[in-house]
Structures are given as C-alpha cells and as structure tokens.
Amino acid sequence: MVTPLLSFDFGQFMPPLLRGAGVTVGLVLASGIAGTIIGVVFGIGRSAPLAPVRWLASIYTNFIRGIPILIILLFLYYEIPLLFPYATFSQTITAMIGLSVYAGAYMAEIFRGSIQAIPRGQLEAGEALGLNYLQKMRYVVLPQALKIAVPPGIGFLIALVKASSLVSVIAATDLTRAGRIITSQNHAPLATFLVVAALYFVISYPLSLLGRWYERRLA
Amino acid sequence: MSTPAMILAQDIHKRFGDLEVLKGIDAEVDEREVVCLIGPSGSGKSTLLRCMNALEKFQKGHITICGHDLTGSKTNVNEVRRDVGMVFQSFNVFPHMLVLDNLMLAPMKVLKVSKAEARERAMALLEKVGLVDKAKVYPTKLSGGQQQRVAIARALAMQPKVMLFDEPTSALDPETVGEVLEVMKALAEEGMTMMVVTHEMGFAREVADRVLFMDNGVVVEQGPPREIFDNPQHDRTRAFLSKIL
Amino acid sequence: MTIDFGAVLPYLPVMLKALGISIEVTVLSFFIGSVLGIFVYLGRRSGLAPLRWLAHGFIEVFRNTPLLVQLYLIYFGLPEVGINLNPFWSTLAGMTLNNAAYTAEIFRAGIESVPNGLVEAAGALGMRFSQTFRFIVLKPAIRNVLPALTNQFIVLFLFSSVGSVISLNELTSALADLNQRTLRTLEIFTIGGILYYLTSAVIAGSSRLAERYLFRW
C-alpha cells in the first residue's frame, strides 16, 4: 500500500484534483440551494388546501425518492439533446439540473416532516388570531419548520456531496472524474482514488461536524 | 425491640460531581413500618430512596436492607433487588408486553418460578390492584393510574420484603391519584414495610407511621405524622409545610 | 420519433432479469453489512479505546466518501495489491462496508432511544444485564430502528445502480445498454424508473405491514 501511495505525484496531479473538487463544491452548493427552494415549495405543497396540488407534490417527491440519482442523470444526459437538438448544453449544467431535481424531492420530504412536527396548537392559535393560510405559513409555520429542518437538511447535504460523484458518469468534470482522468495517465488507481476519497472527506466531514454541533445546540 | 431494622442507613454521603446531595443521612425503617420522606424538590429524598436498592451508588456510609449489606463490595445487587420492590414516578411498565407478561417476567426469569405459578401469582395481584380485566391488554392502552397500579403489582410479584415508592403519584392526572394511593394504603394495612417519597401530605398523615422531613441533603426532623404536621420543631419544616398545605 | 412504449416492451424480460441482480446484490450486502454493523456498533461501545477509535473511524470514513469512489478503489485499486474482485463481488464488498457504517449508527440510535427508566425498572426487579437486554431493550429497540433500517435498505437498493459504473450488469447498466440500442430514451428510462420505484414501494410497504404485525403495543 505504501509504494503506490508514494508514487503519486502530488505536484502534477493536485491542481486538477483541486479544480475537480471546486466543481464538486460548486455543484453541491448550486443544487443544494435550488433543491432547498424546490423543497420549500413542494414541502408546503404537500399540505396545501387544494387536493391536486397535494397530489402533484406527492408524486414528485415520492417518485424521485424511489429511483436512483444515476437514472435521473443518465435520462437527462440522453434526453436533453433529443429535446433540444440545436442547443449546446454543458454537462455541468445537465448535472446541476439533475442534482437539483434530486435534492428538491428529498428537501421537500424533510420540510413536510418539519411542518408536521409543529404542534397543531400553533396553527390553531394562528387561526384564532384571524391569519389566513398564507399568513399562517409565512409567520407561524415556516420560521419554526426551517429550524427543525436544519439537522436533516445538513444530513442530506452530505448525501448530496457523495451523490454528486455520479455526475462523473455523464462526463461532468467533478472531483471523481478528475481522478479517473488522472488514473488513465498515471495508472495508479489505488493512490489516486485514496487522494480523491480524502478530498471528499475534507468536503463532507465539516458538514457532519456542523450537523452534530447544531443538533446538540437544539437539544 | 428485638427485631433488627428492615432498612438501616448510617451517615450516607452522596455527591454528583461537585454537588453534594446527601450530607450524612441516618434513617431506619422497622419491619411493617411505613415511612414517608417529604421535603422540597432537590432535597435529596429520591436519591436517598434510590440508594436503598443500589440504583445509585453512595460514597460514604452504610446501608443494610433486608439483611443485605449494600456497602460490601461482594454484595450481589441482583440478590438485594429480589427482596426490594421499587415503584417509579414514571411507572416504567414494559410497553411491549401485555400487562400479565409484565407481572410474570421477573418471577420467571429471576426467581425461576414456573409459568403456571407466575401466572397464578400475577392474576391474584391484578385482582388485588383491581385490574384483572386488563390482564391481556398492552399497558400503553391504560391510563397513568392504571399503569402505576400495574407497576406496583409487578413489584409485588417478586414477593419483596420491602417496597420503595419514588413519588408514585407525581406523574399522574389528579383524578387517578386516588386509586393508586388506595392500593398503597391497602398494602400498608397488610403490614408491608414501605418507604415512600411523596408530595401527598394527606397520604403521609393518614398512612405513615413516621415522617422524615428532608431539606438540602439532611434529615431536618422526623417523628409521627401528627407531630411533624401539627407541631413542627424546625423553621425549615414550618416554612415547607406552610407552602405546601 | 414519437413516443411508443410498445416498442420497448419486448425488452421488459431483460430489464427484469437485470433488476434481479440489483435486488440480489442489495439483499446480500444489506444482511452481511447489518451483521457487520452490529459488530461496528459494539466496537464503538467497547471498553478498549483503540477499538472505539477504529469503529468510529470506519463509520466516519464510509459515511463521508462516495460509494462510487469506494467501488473504484476496490475494483481498480485493489488489483495493485493483488486482490482481484469481479464487478459483482466488488459492488457487494463496497455496498456491504457502506451498509455496515450506516446500520452501526442506526443500531446505536435505536438502543439509546429505549428509555433508561425501563432498564432501571428491570434492574430493580433483579434482572441481570443480559436478561434486561434480551427481554426489555431488544424489542423496543428493533421497533425504533425498523423505519430507519427500511429507509437504509431502500437507499442501498437505489445505490446498487452505482455498480453499473464498474460494469455490473444490473438494472441501470441494462437500461443504458438498451437506450443505446433502441434510442428510445424516454420510454426506456420511464419503464426503468417505474421498476426502481415499484421495488422501493414494495420494500416500504412490506416493512409497514411487518411493523403492524410484529409490534402491536
């Protein structure tokens, strides 16, 4: 194990790996933010007074959470050129769309759970004060739900960091793909992917610590 | 005079980190005696009670209970606990077992009593606490008062020589407090040796042979309930009683 | 090209066969990994500090790195040190270790969630530690962990698709292959997605049924 590790040329290969790590972080941030927005909208949609809205939100969140992220990415990768034959789409954009659709469904489920966790009395109190549906959501439900959603939200962000490695399969040049390109040059997959794994750990572990810290603060 | 005390605690010291919660407690409970521990919350009464069956360790002092010396390092805690029944504030009935199984488990597994005998004992005890019709029900379906009666019957199923009660009615709805106190009173009348931490002054006055008033980790005064309630000698006792009565 | 599901229906048996491999690798890695997870959990609670660190490190490493990179290490990296595993065994090994790290945490949470009062009550009745664990802690703990375990099982199943990247011929791999052959992307991936979704739904549904049957309190 030692020999292959020593043979890894950090000077030559760290810059492309770090660029890949930058793409990974960027993808996770962008799709994390987009996913949170989608999640809030669909999470509220799950408890909307209109039944068709509830069904739509429910189909989206449940179906996406029942299929692999890789299927979503592959589908977009092959389907987008068929739908828009003349547009040139960067794979990074396709990856971002796929990860956002994926993140949105999980975030929506997290928000649904958080909204449910708010005691009924809060809603009744809002009603008794004469607030309408949107006012109740805006001033009573959402502020409390967002707070409850933070620990599972951070947990999902960690899952998103790892899931984002699959964008390498559709040719987006993230950290994992940078690693694959390097192994085709240095033929040292063990050392290269150990470094790649370490870089993922560096991205993900602080999030784990943050989640644990926040949970302890809530308790 | 000749029978040795059922519980004898001498100079018990107990600390949680820097906080000394018991500062040299002496207490004694004779056979067939009912002793109530009263006092403000945080006075150390529950901790003292929990020391009696080794749920809490103490740093200094001696406890003998039903002939077992709790101080000796060779004491088998489980042997002590067979003789000492305990009832908790939060019932702690086993939620995944039928009421009947709650009562049969420990006699079968700890005392190795046969299933038939354990069942017989259990049914007799359910009769006694007025819950025969709940034998085949899960405890989660019962009210707090009913759950606590199950917990009392479960402790009695081990045929203990002493019963310890740790604020048995504090977690109950007011309307179910009475049914639990009735069961405890009946138990006292049968001659069970009991040590009861309680905030129910009416119960203490009526049922206790002796009342111990604790405050801030010491026993401030003790005596027959009439003396403690009607003629307290210490200011702290008076202050406490004036707040609670 | 118009949408025509009829055109891809003849390929359904191929998909179902591939789904069988997805399920096989998931079930195996779930059970082996969960048993391993019990040991990792026990390691975390061990009195020996080095064992605790080892278990903790194992959990953190596998929870904070992607399965895909783990599979690359096993499939492409291990041959460098003389360990050659085919795609099936590589995927199985990666998923098993991954599952062990996750279930170890699930077991910890489940056992810690059994109220301490129940353990005390059992102690006060004179029950030994082993009796308390077997009769008092185990069943409520299983009930507490079942939803999380089910969820983990579904996540594991969905991530078995990653095996396709190291050329395991499971469902995702079959879908990509059929897509190249037929160029009916929408139809192929819709049916594939539905197969994944239905399998997940069946897992979730049977878990709920089992829960209702097993835990009646």
Instruction: List chains touching B (3+ CB pairs under 8 A).
Output: C
Q: Is the pLDDT of residue C12 over 70?
A: yes
Token couple for B82: 């067979």
| Chain B residue nearest residue C127, CA to CA | B110
- Please judge whether C126 and B106 are an interchain contact, meaning their C-beta atoms are less than 8 angstroms apart: yes
Cα-only R_g, chain A? 21
Estimate to the nearest angstrom the gap between the alpha carbon of A68 and the chain centroid: 13
pLDDT digits (tens, 9 = 90+) for C38-55: 999 999 999 999 999 999
- Smallest CA–CA distance, residue B130 to chain C, in Å, is 22
> How many B-C residue pairs are in contact by the CB < 8 A criterion?
67
- Smallest CA–CA distance, residue B157 to chain C, in Å, is 10
Among B154, B147, B96, B145, which Cα is nearest to B125's?
B154
Give the one of C117, C124, C139 whose C-beta lies nearest to B90's C-beta. Answer: C117
pLDDT digits (tens, 9 = 90+) for A147-192: 899 999 999 999 999 999 999 999 889 999 999 999 999 999 999 9
ipTM above 0.90, yes or no: yes
CATH number of A16-172+207-218: 1.10.3720.10
Which one of C116, C119, C125 makes the best mutation probe of the B interface by having the most chain B beta carbons within 10 Å? C125
Q: Which residues of B touch C125 (CB under 8 A)?
A: 81, 105-106, 110, 154-155, 158
Chain A CB within 8 Å of residue C67 CB: yes
The CB density around residue C216, as the number of other CB atoms within 10 Å, is: 10
Q: Tell me which architecture the domain covering C5-213 has in CATH.
A: Orthogonal Bundle (1.10)
Give the one of A75, A82, A193 whose C-beta lies nearest to C73's C-beta. Answer: A193
Estimate to the nearest angstrom the gap between the alpha carbon of A139 and the chain centroid: 27
- Smallest CA–CA distance, residue A165 to chain C, in Å, is 7
Which one of A61, A70, A167 makes the best mutation probe of the C interface by having the most chain C beta carbons within 10 Å? A70
What is the model's pLDDT at position A1?
A: 46
- Please judge whether B88 and C121 are an interchain contact, meaning their C-beta atoms are less than 8 angstroms apart: yes
Strands B19-29 and B68-69: unpaired
- Smallest CA–CA distance, residue C5 to chain A, in Å, is 16
Q: What is the mean pLDDT of each run of 10 residues along chain B (245 residues)?
A: 80 93 95 96 94 91 91 80 93 94 94 95 96 96 96 96 96 94 96 96 95 95 95 94 86
* Interface present between C and B (3 or more CB pairs within 8 Å): yes
Chain A CB within 8 Å of residue C98 CB: no
Contacts 24+ apart (CB under 8 A), B14-17: B14/B44, B14/B47, B14/B48, B14/B51, B14/B56, B14/B57, B14/B58, B14/B59, B15/B59
Average pLDDT over residues C80-104: 97
- Smallest CA–CA distance, residue C186 to chain A, in Å, is 7
Token couple for A196: 């790649």
Domain boundaries, chain A: 16-172+207-218
DSSP state of A139: I
Q: Is C109 exposed, middle or buried (0-12, 13-18, 19+ CB in 10 A)?
A: middle
Among B97, B91, B96, B110, which Cα is nearest to B153's?
B91
pLDDT digits (tens, 9 = 90+) for A59-115: 999 999 999 999 999 999 999 888 888 877 789 999 999 999 999 999 999 999 999
Chain B CB within 8 Å of residue C213 CB: no
Chain A CB within 8 Å of residue C73 CB: yes
Give the one of A71, A158, A164 whose C-beta lies nearest to C189's C-beta. Answer: A71
- Please judge whether C123 and B81 are an interchain contact, meaning their C-beta atoms are less than 8 angstroms apart: yes
Written as one letter, the residue type at C156 is L
- Please judge whether C131 and B92 are an interchain contact, meaning their C-beta atoms are less than 8 angstroms apart: no
What is the model's pLDDT at position B1?
A: 45
pLDDT digits (tens, 9 = 90+) for B169-212: 999 999 999 999 999 999 999 999 999 999 999 999 999 999 99
Q: Which residues of C touch B85 (CB under 8 A)?
A: 124
Chain B CB within 8 Å of residue C81 CB: no
Cα–Cα distance measured from residue A72 to residue A58, given in angstroms and rounded to the nearest whole number: 18
The answer to whether the predicted template modeling score (pTM) of the entire model surpasses 0.90 is no
